[in-house]
Amino acid sequence: MALLEVKDLKMYYKVRRGDVKAVDGVSFEIEKGEAMGLAGESGCGKSSMATTLLRLLPNNGRILDGSIKFDGKEILDLPEEQFRQDYRWQRMSIIFQGAMNALNPVHRIGKQISEAIITHENVSKNEAKKRAEELLEMVGINSERYRNYPHEFSGGMKQRAVIAMALACNPDLIIADEPTTALDVMVQAQVLEAIQSLRKKMGLSMLLISHDLSVIAQTCDKVAIMYAGRIVEYGPSTKVYNNPLHPYSYGLLSSFPDIMAPRSPIQSIPGSPPNLLEPPSGCRFSPRCPLADSKCFTDEPELMAIDGKNHLVACHKAGALGKVGEQS
Ligand SMILES: Nc1ncnc2c1ncn2[C@@H]1O[C@H](COP(=O)(O)OP(=O)(O)OP(=O)(O)O)[C@@H](O)[C@H]1O
Ligand SMILES: [Mg+2]
C-alpha cells in the first residue's frame, strides 16, 4: 500500500470572474521511503497541489472532488481538528515556498524550532531544546548556533533551518516546495545533499516541487510533470528525463542546459501558460504544441501507459515524439 495515494483530486480557487482550476483531476502515489518530483512552469498549480495535500487552503480555495489517502486512510473525510492533531506536521509536513524568508527575524533560530516542537508535542522546554539542537546538527548546522538570529545565518543555512523545522515532529512524508530555488548552485547542492541524507536516515518519503527538472532527476525516484492543473507525464525520473514522451516535458527539458552535453542553443517553449479560469479545450497544451492536430484541440487525452507500465503520458501524439527532437 502506498503511503500517499491521490486520486482525481480537484481544487479550485473562487474568484470574481469564476473558478481558477489550479488542481484539476490529479492522481499519483508515493510509496514509503520514495521521493517524487513535481515539475512544471510557474503558475501550473504545484504549490496549490502542496497546500491541498495539507488542507492549508486560503478562504477561496475549495476541494471539489477526489481522494487523498494517507497510509490507507482517507484524510479528506477527517474533521479539521483530527487532521491537525494526527496528520499535519506529525505525519506529513511542508517546507513552504520561500519559507526561509518567513523565519521570524526577532526570534533565535533554535527557539523557533523548539517552539514548533512544543506546539505539536507534549515535551518539556529542555527536551524540545535538545531535540532542536539535534535537528540543527542533522541538517549540518553546528548546534552552538542555536542562539543565532536569522540575520546571522546565510541563505543556505536559513533554508536548512527551515528543513529542520519541518522535521521537528518526525513526519513520514515531507513536501518541499522549491526548497533550493533561491540559492546559488553550490549551496543548492549542499541543501539537496542534506535532504538526501536525512531521507535515508529517517526513511522519509518526499514530494519535491521544483521547476528545475535536473534537480528532480538528481534527487527523486519518480516525477510528475504538471501542466495547467493536470499531470501530463508521470514515471521513473530517469525514464522521463532520458526519454520524455510529452511534447511539453520535452520542451521543459530542453529549456535547461546540460553542462555535460555539447553546447547548443537553449530552447524555450513558445507561447505562455493558459489562463486557468478558462483552460483550453481538448489537450491544454494544444495551443502551444508543435504536433497538435484537430483531435488535440477537442479531445482531452487520458494519462496512459506507453513506454512500460510505469511510464504514463497524456498525449494523443505520444508515439510521434521523436519528430519533436528531429525538428529542433
Ligand atoms: N488564493 C488564490 N486565489 C486565486 N488564484 C490563486 C490563488 N493562489 C494561486 N492562484 C492561482 O492558481 C494558479 C496556480 O498557482 P500556484 O501557486 O499553485 O502555481 P505554482 O505552480 O506553484 O507556480 P510557481 O512555480 O510560480 O510557484 C495560478 O494561476 C495562480 O494565479
Ligand atoms: Mg509555487
pLDDT, one tens digit per residue, over 78-120 is 999 999 989 999 999 999 988 888 899 999 999 999 998 998 8
Ligand 1 atom index nearest CA of 15: 4
| CB of 128 closer than 8 Å to CB of 95 | no
How many angstroms is it from 55 CA to the middle of ligand 1?
15
Q: Tell me the one-letter amino acid at 105.
A: P
Asked if residue 13 has pLDDT above 90, the reply is yes
Neighbours of ion ligand 2 (CB under 5 A): 46-47, 97
pLDDT value of position 25: 97
Contact 238, 220 (CB under 8 A): no
Q: Could you tell me what percent of the chain has a pLDDT over 70?
A: 93
- When pLDDT is cut at 50, 70 and 90, the band that residue 17 belongs to is very high
User: Atom 16, ligand 1: which residue's CA is nearest?
Assistant: 45
**Contacts of range 104-108, beta carbons closer than 8 Å, 24 or more positions apart:** 104/150, 105/149, 105/150, 105/151, 106/149, 107/149, 108/146, 108/147, 108/148, 108/149
Residue ID of nearest Cα to ligand 1 atom 2: 13
Q: Candidates 14, 23, 48, 53: which one to mutate for ligand 1, based on the most atoms within 8 Å of Cβ?
A: 48
Cell numbers at residue 178, please?
522549491
180: cell is 533550493
pLDDT at 180 over 90: no
Task: Tell me: pLDDT of 321 over 70.
Answer: no
Q: Whose CA is nearest to atom 28 of ligand 1?
A: 43
Kindly give, in sequence order, each residue whose CB lies less than 8 Å from that of residue 259, ignoring residues fewer than 6 positions away: none
DSSP-assigned beta bridge partners for residue 60: none
pLDDT of amino acid 258: 59
At residue 260, the pLDDT reads 59
Residue nearest to atom 25 of ligand 1 (CA): 42
pLDDT tens for each residue of 34-59:
999 999 999 999 999 999 999 999 99
CB atoms within 10 A of CB 14: 13
Residue 141 — very low, low, confident or very high, per pLDDT cuts 50/70/90? very high
- DSSP helix/strand/coil, 112: helix
Which atom of ligand 1 is nearest the CA belonging to 44?
Answer: 21
Determine if the pTM surpasses 0.85: yes
When pLDDT is averaged across residues 282-299 and rounded to a whole number, the result is 95
| Whole-number pLDDT of residue 146 | 96
**pLDDT value at residue 324:** 47
Among all ligands shown, which has an atom nearest to the Cα of 96? 2
Among residues 196, 200, 202, 198, the alpha carbon closest in space to that of 219 is found at 196
Give the number of the atom of ligand 1 that is nearest the alpha carbon of residue 45: 18
Q: With beta carbons less than 8 A apart as the criterion, state whether 28 and 224 touch.
A: yes
* Cα–Cα distance, 91 to 2 (Å, whole number): 14
Ligand 2 centre and the CA of 293: distance in Å? 31
Predicted pLDDT of residue 190: 83
Cβ 162 vs Cβ 100: under 8 Å: yes
Contacts of 168 (CB under 8 A, 6+ apart): 89, 93, 113, 116, 117, 120, 131, 132, 135
- Residue 186: predicted pLDDT: 82
Neighbours of 270 (CB within 10 A): 10
Whether residue 185 is predicted with pLDDT greater than 60 in this model: the reply is yes
Rounded Cα gap, residues 143 and 66, in angstroms = 43
Lining ligand 1 with CB less than 6 A are 13, 15, 20, 22, 40, 42-48, 58, 60, 97, 211, 276
pLDDT at 213: 87
Ligand 1 pocket test, pick from 14, 16, 20, 209 with the greatest ligand atom count within 8 Å of Cβ, gives: 20
Positions of E strands within the chain: 4-15, 18-30, 35-39, 61-70, 73-74, 92-95, 173-177, 205-209, 222-227, 230-236, 304-305, 312-313
Query: What pLDDT band is residue 319 in, cutting at 50, 70 and 90?
Result: low
Per-residue pLDDT tens for 228-254?
999 999 999 999 998 899 999 988 887
Q: How far is the CA of 217 from the centre of ligand 2 (A)?
A: 19
**Residues 61-79: tens digit of each pLDDT:** 999 999 999 999 999 999 9
Q: Mean pLDDT, to the nearest integer, of 166-192?
A: 88
For residue 85, report the phi and psi dihedrals to the nearest 5 degrees. Answer: -75, -40
Pair 303, 319: CB distance under 8 Å: no
Work out the number of other CB atoms within 10 angstroms of the CB of residue 73: 12
